[in-house]
Amino acid sequence: MTQAPIPSALLPTALPPTAAIIVAAGRGTRAGGTLPKQWQEIGGAPIVAHALRAFAGLYRVLVIHPDDRARAEALGAELVVAGGATRQASVRAALEALEGRGIAQVLIHDGARPLVGPALIARVLTALETHDGAAPALAVTDALWTGAGALVTGTRDRTGLYRAQTPQGFRFDAILAAHRVHPGGAADDVEVARAMGLDVRLVEGEEANLKVTWEADFARARQLMGAGMDVRMGNGYDVHAFCEGDGVWLCGVKVPHGRGLLGHSDADVAMHALTDAIYGALAEGDIGRHFPPSDPQWKGAASEIFLAHAIGLARGRGYALANCDVTIVCERPKIGPHAGAMQARLAAILGVEAGRISVKATTSERLGFTGREEGIASIATAVLTKS
């Protein structure tokens, strides 16, 4: 997963020189695994790489444990700095390394928060226009208890309480001075700033901006990132010629017409296209592979048999239909009056809500075989997902 730079439309119009410090010097033993948590992969890249990419376009300082330098230098940060024994010491090392580089403000972010979004970053930067510091947070909404052993011993008022997040932003000179005089032991940089008397503006955080701390957090981060999602898309195309008859089957609905459609089954050209789209998403060929026209048992068969088989095959492999789109190409009959019924019929066969089904029609402006009213064509696309 590659994150795009922060969109310029979200940023203040006159952004001063800004650095982003990504703190990744800890060992992260609570998360398990053979590597520190920030170097374990989700979405095909280390957690810290996702955090680093979120600040593309800023001067990025990656703070690391000395043992991780080779890994760190491959990620493309503008500056790599060895951290200290504590988070506070690591941040100070980065701030000292930035002195004299013309930096006016700094964002300090946990390397174990891979899902920070551009809108959140922009909110912090905007708040820095009028405040010494700014930090994202989420109001505490759950009840708060105290406990001893396995028993609840009391409750606490949650009014005015927030869950702190990063990036925490500051005027560079002010936060550097604050770190230089702080005795140590601060929970985060907001505590350091407030000890210096700096005002820190609260901005809205994001639930997705989780900090990977425990082993279970990896699964949640992957889910939020979509790293565990398997998405398949297939296309289908079918054509049937007109023949004698009194109507045509389209998407499981018989539409009155002066002619019928020629085919081995009921010649439902639209349902055939959709069935092939699902087979295509599964890399399972087309209808002919599963229901050969040479087999007499399929003579005049209802095409919903084919569609039900295709979606059943998908479900058997753990896929769900995200959505599908069917376009019918013909001059006549008019499809619009029947599109709602077609949508409902397909939804019933596929076992999904009608809102996941699109049925529409177009003409070919009297061009080609459909324009000459020699037959009907249909194009369909289906998207399957599995998480």
Domain boundary among 225, 258, 280: 225
pLDDT for position 30: 75
Per-residue pLDDT in tens (0 to 9) along the chain, 387 residues: 445 567 777 777 667 899 999 999 988 677 777 788 999 998 889 999 999 999 999 999 999 999 999 999 999 999 999 999 999 999 999 999 999 999 999 999 999 999 999 999 999 999 999 999 999 999 999 999 999 999 999 999 999 999 999 999 999 999 999 999 999 999 999 999 999 999 999 999 999 999 999 999 898 888 888 766 789 999 999 999 999 999 999 999 999 999 999 998 999 999 999 999 999 999 999 999 999 988 989 998 999 999 999 999 999 999 999 999 999 999 999 999 999 999 999 999 999 999 999 999 999 999 999 999 999 999 999 999 987
Q: What gap in Å lies between CA 5 and CA 125, rounded to an integer?
A: 14
Q: How many domains does the chain have?
A: 2
pLDDT at 33: 76
State whether 282 and 208 are in the same domain: no
User: Is the same domain home to 212 and 244?
Assistant: no
Q: Hey, how many other C-beta atoms are within 10 angstroms of the C-beta on 275?
A: 30
Query: Residue 227's pLDDT is what?
Result: 62
Does residue 268 sit in the same domain as residue 133? Answer: no
- Can you tell me the distance from the alpha carbon of 172 to that of 168, in angstroms, rounded to the nearest whole number? 12
This prediction's pTM: 0.65
Does 58 fall in a domain? Answer: yes
> Does 358 lie in the same domain as 298?
yes
295 and 196 in one domain?
no
- Domain identity same for 244 and 212: no
Q: CA 220, CA 47: separation in Å to the nearest integer?
A: 13
**Which of residues 173, 199, 225 is at a domain's end?**
225
pLDDT at 5: 65
CATH number at 13 reads 3.90.550.10
Same domain, 220 and 262: no
Q: What is the pLDDT of residue 2?
A: 44
Domain ends where: 225, 259, 290?
Answer: 225
Domain that holds residue 311: 230-386
